A and B are shown apart, each in its own frame.
Chain A
């Protein structure tokens, strides 16, 4: 990096590359995003399914996340229906997890003697995944930049051992580091030679406009309902066929279709709990089938381990 550039904050992509390098150096496998529409990095099977069972598992990856109801047609400087999470899973949770995490903040340019870093109670729960854990939201000068969780249960099963999960909100963190007030003003990449810098808005503003419209106004609710039913049925078929990874894909699909139906405003308050329970059953069923398919190997390789 040139001397002049050294003073400039990291671009959005350099921040991701820095995190990759940081966690790679700590033994994490750097995975790629899962190729399905999900609401959060936690839905990636590398988190959901791999946090079950006794095998060590250390990975990091970026996951594009979709939350249809958070769309604001590109008009809100802080809210997006599509954004990125940086997800780190360390199983079992290392004793110095907090220190490793703080090291990653330092790596992307946050000085803890200049900025106020705090661990504020926030117990995480995902009703649709049947999962919960204890931890914090990490504040940087009052802004939540990371969800830090020790998984206790996934799919209704105890995590043995417990995995530590770090979920960084990349856009927020970048807005902080780059000191911009509007997400679309973020430097996505820096200018190099004749090639101009690209802003976050260059990449995503039009997406936010179109997808907000589709999520809220256009998406055909009949086919969404039909899709939900189809995913539900296919999930069961896959569970019965002993292919839990494929079953879990359908659980993810159902979950996202449910989110879209919510954005379309066609699910009443009373029905909402019912739909969530149906998605949870799919996720739990997939987790159980995953455990069933793996437990022989687990108990063989880890004597004394029980579910």
Chain B
């Protein structure tokens, strides 16, 4: 068993590509060895900016010998068939075996030396390597066929045991020699085997293990900050990127002019991170401090003083630009900036951003005026278990009221009109990821009310899972209006997401609306909200688009709730009742149902329901609410209201009477509870039917020989299923 080392040395590989390249190298190596019948076993893959390294432990010296058997033509077949087979196998007729009139060729393949397999695999791996972008270089690039690599490939080290694996690709011949750190140790180093590789490079100032470099940066940056009484703002993305930019990382702390701290901290952090790949630090007060940590690639002769000074100067220039944008942008009001939105196309079929803003402003105002978003749009009070949650009206959750409805409507409209204005500011032009945030800063700076500034800042939220969900009423109105507008408009011009294609992030918008509904329990009556978001309510085409958006939202809801542990069949059971467009109410009902289904009463009631539905079905009687008690085809008619003819008391058992009595109590109780959105009470009403229905099935025979009695009992069952359907369509429930 022998170790193998492969180093592919090149000019600097982009940091962001190194992780993918390690995976690709492993995949290709395993595939090529596997194809030759070798198991690659334990591999170590490393990367630095200038090299990709693979070391394989304990490879066998040779592949195992194999014997391959090929079936040929029948011995009675025409001679051409035999000739063809001999050509194919390279054998003569006397080397074939005749088994019961069929020729067989037995070809013994001896094992191949692993070194030989590797010598073929290396060029194949290099040629087959997939980079996100690759290039040609040098004099060979006069031909289109020349080797491609991420940047010029400059050397190959390939050693099996202590022997060179000879190979050549694109004029580069494998050898024992590599190079150390570009500046500390630029000469050649001779590698002896896989076992001394990392050590020899370490001696030449190169840390080949990327994870080790990451640890040095992570810990070193934190320590550099701590030594100055500061706290590093952790950023694992920066750790990995800097490890991909250095062979010998040295984190260094620098300071910048405190005056720059007047620029918003998010801007400073982004400038430092995106443009310079620096970490930022917090002071003892937890606020951003005037410090940064850069990662050098050398142990500088002066301990890094010159490097820090240089980096400080660059950062200062960047921050001056940021401060220039910050000051320049404030020379105009957001309303003045917003004028430019008329020049920006939102989508060629949906007009400009100014057009969108106009729609969103109207919709945000409408949401307030209709009382959908109110000054006390309740925030969910702490964590509530589903069963505890009763009528929303029972928990008013009073919030600081920003004023009356008119004021709220004015603020929502104003915030909506200004919410996209920062898109045309210099700062957001430079840092698009600051959209919203900058608008919020500028709004506050020009003295707009906090509620408006907050709404501008937060109206894109929530962006993805785990992001904060807005709760302030003005923000809720703008945020919801913005997303409803996108959904309604894109669906209405037939640009709904399909398959994996969702270029306008409408799924995210849908999920954001749902998250908003769940977090604040804002009651959005979608059957009127959606046509309004498209415009021209009442129009048939608008109605169709609205219905499609609503179905889309329900689908998103199921996906989102599945992750939260809510059963999709229970959502179906409530949704199937129809007419429900209030997701808050729908979810409350689903949650109460889920809690009920987890009880013994619930499972038994479901069993009773299924049995009743079966009997009704056999009797030709539907069990869905629409059919219960209604003439259905040729089947007998059962009336489930109190005016139905009652059979003579003599035919009635105590079980019939008990079920009837229970229904008489439970039906109105459940209906009243549903109307009041006391869904747990509705479930309790249903639970009261469990014992009577069980006893009924136990004690009576529904299909009584006396037709009148049978009809009566079928009527009771129809009434029972109807009562259940008043709460949820149990036929949709699984189990």
Contact = CB atoms under 8 A, between A and B. Distances in A.
Given A116-B298, A116-B300, A142 B141 contact: no
Q: Which of A98, A111, A112, A114 has the most CB of B within 10 A?
A: A114
B135 A140 contact: no
A77 to B, nearest CB: 7
Nearest to B315: A142
Nearest to A138: B12
A216 interface: no
Given A95-B154, A112-B183, A176-B310, A118 B141 contact: no
A152 interface: yes
Interface string A89-117: 00011110010001000000001111111
Central interface residue in B137, B182, B300, by most chain A CB within 10 Å = B137
Interface in A118-167: 118-121, 123, 133-136, 140-143, 150, 152, 158-162, 164
A117 B135 contact: no
Contact of A113 (B49, B141, B184, B313): B184
B140 interface: yes
Contacts of B317: 77-78
Contacts of B345: 269-270
Given A113-B184, A141-B314, A134 B151 contact: yes
Contacts of A118: 245-246, 297
Contacts of A305: 142
How many residues of B sit at the interface, in one of the four size bands? 35 or more
A247 B314 CA distance: 40
B306 interface: yes
A302 B135 contact: no
A162 B142 CA distance: 7
Contact of B135 (A78, A134, A141): A134
A220 interface: no
A121 B14 contact: yes
A72 to B, nearest CB: 9
B16 A121 contact: yes
Contacts of B133: 123, 134
A76 B320 CA distance: 9
A150 B137 contact: yes
A257 to B, nearest CB: 21
B300 A95 contact: no
Contacts, number: 128
A111 B298 CA distance: 12
Contacts of A164: 137
A45 to B, nearest CB: 21
A54 B142 contact: yes
Interface string A214-234: 000000000000000000000
Nearest to A54: B142
Nearest to A304: B143
B298 A113 contact: yes
B99 interface: no
A142 B310 contact: yes
B343 interface: yes
A160 B137 contact: no
Chain B CB within 10 A, most for which of A116, A117, A120, A134: A116
B673 interface: no
Contact of A116 (B14, B307, B320): B307
B138 A95 contact: yes
A202 interface: no
B73 interface: no
Nearest to A53: B142
B474 to A, nearest CB: 30
Nearest to A78: B317
Interface in A156-183: 158-162, 164, 176, 181
A268 interface: yes
A159 B11 contact: no
Nearest 5 pairs between A and B by C-beta? A141-B310, A121-B14, A119-B12, A142-B311, A162-B141
Given A121-B12, A141-B309, 9 more contacts: A92-B139, A112-B298, A114-B300, A116-B298, A120-B15, A121-B15, A135-B151, A160-B143, A162-B137
Interface of B: 11-12, 14-16, 49, 133, 135-144, 150-152, 154, 182-184, 245-246, 276, 278, 294, 296-298, 300-302, 306-307, 309-311, 313-317, 320-321, 324, 343-345
Interface of A: 54, 76-78, 92-95, 98, 102, 111-121, 123, 133-136, 140-143, 150, 152, 158-162, 164, 176, 181, 268-270, 302, 304-306
